[in-house]
Amino acid sequence: MYIKRIFPVKTVLKWTRRDIFLFVLIGAIPVILFDLLGLKWLHVPWLPLGVLGTAISFLISFKNNASYDRLWEARKIWGGIVNTSRTWTIMVKDFIDFRHAKTPISETDLKAIQKELVHRHVAWLTALRYQLRASKPWEDHVKNQKSNKEFKKNYFLVCEDTIDIKEAISPYISKEEYKEIFAKGNKPSQLLGIQSKRLKELMNAGLIEDFRHMEMMNVLKELYTLQGKSERIKNFPYPRQYATLNYMFVWVFIILLPFGIMEGFESIGQHIVEDLATHQSKTNWGHLTQEFIAKHFVWFSIPFSTLLAWVFHTMEKIGENTENPFEGSPNDVPITDLSRGIEIDIRQLIDDTNIPEPYVWKNDIVM
């Protein structure tokens, strides 16, 4: 799944608004203690805090690069599935021939065989995307965050969350195959196994010669490889020691940040007070207002600490929301849309009927 166009700023702010409110509170508490209660010793030198922020920037960059690599690899895998699906379909269309059949069959029967093999491939695509959409324990932390759940509810809905796999897959396979694959664990693997068995039957019937059978089996082998690559990303999470510790380091920096910038804003206010003291007119309203603001200039550290905390936390959150590219978030690979596009393409190649329409994008988010 991916966003078709750039997110409006208001959407990003809405997504992170709870974090922003928390950052304002975190920035305000030290200022209250510093300015109103007179705890002027309550600050942290900026030098060690700046070093910490620099180190965390590298960690966030490392995490985001690794998360993007997982996302991009997943997209390349599904690009391979698109190409291999087309290859499979033209082989089904052109390699299966009744001229050397041991038992004569009609053109209608040949079309039925082609339709059977292509529909079974669509069933494999359906089973694979449902398997990849299934939630893993390490994905629940991100999916169950209030901001993500609210965003998903308001902006998009993945069809795998509303349509059962049995309902989605049943139109493409026979009742016998339906019972067989749902009695086993890995449904996509079982469907490819049925395809292999069916090719052997067609070869024995003289509808596929040995060389063509071997080439079609190579395509099934490639589909198994692509499925395995997808499962590798799905079943092996981004290393939790990096994800968890990086998250903790970011929050340590966010909590210490207001203590590090208060003294700097306090110094600016003192310079302003000194400059105002050199002016002769000290009784007019404007001068008194400026003097009051200067004496409490430390309060301006709140919006700046909030801004810095928001940037660091949002960048860490982006990496966190990108590390699992199949879970069904708006930053994922759009495997639902890709599957429907493949289905339309390959069914048109065999002149099939009742071809479904492309999925409608909601709020410019591709599923």
pLDDT for position 364:
63
Pairwise CA distance, residues 305 & 154, whole Å: 30
DSSP codes, 306-322: HHHHHHHHHHHHHHHHH
**Partner residues linked to 362 by β-bridges:** 365
What's residue 279's pLDDT? 65
How many domains in the chain? 1
Return the number of other C-beta atoms located less than 10 Å from residue 4's C-beta.
10
Q: Which of 96, 167, 104 is nearest to 130 (CA)?
A: 167
One-character DSSP codes across 130-197 = HHHHS--HHHHHHHTSHHHHHHHHHH---GGGTS-HHHHHGGGS-HHHHHHHHTSS-HHHHHHHHHHH
Q: Which residues contact 284 (CB under 8 A, 6 or more apart)?
A: none
Distance CA 362, CA 367 (A): 9
Nearest Cα neighbor of 58 from 334, 353, 319, 333 is: 319
CA dist., res. 297 & res. 44, Å (int): 18
What does the angle CA 259 – CA 261 – CA 262 come to, to the nearest 5 degrees? 70
The phi, psi pair for 226, rounded to 5°, reads -65, -40
Farthest CA pair distance, the chain: 112
Looking at residue 5, what is its pLDDT? Answer: 46
- Cα–Cα dist 266/225, whole Å: 62
Supply 204's token pair.
């024995």
Can you state the percent helix, strand and coil of the chain, rounding each to 5?
Answer: 75, 0, 25
Which two structure tokens, joined as six digits, stand for 158? 């993945």
User: Do 7 and 314 contact (CB within 8 A), yes or no?
Assistant: no
Please give the single-letter amino acid code of residue 357: E
Number of neighbouring beta carbons within 10 Å of residue 213: 18
CA angle 165, 178, 159 (to 5 degrees): 15
- Let me know how long the chain is: 367
Q: What pTM did the predictor assign?
A: 0.85
> Which residue is associated with the tokens 């070869």?
203
pLDDT of residue 240: 80
Residue 191 sits in which domain range? Answer: 2-366
- pLDDT truncated to tens, each residue of the chain (367 aa)? 444 444 556 677 777 888 999 999 999 999 999 888 888 888 888 889 999 999 999 999 999 999 999 999 999 999 999 999 999 999 999 999 888 788 888 889 999 999 999 999 999 999 999 999 988 888 777 777 776 777 777 777 778 888 899 999 999 999 999 999 999 889 999 999 999 999 999 999 999 999 999 999 999 999 999 999 999 999 998 888 888 888 899 999 999 999 999 988 888 888 887 777 776 555 566 667 777 788 888 899 999 999 999 999 999 988 888 888 998 877 789 999 999 999 999 999 999 999 998 887 766 666 6
pLDDT at residue number 218: 97
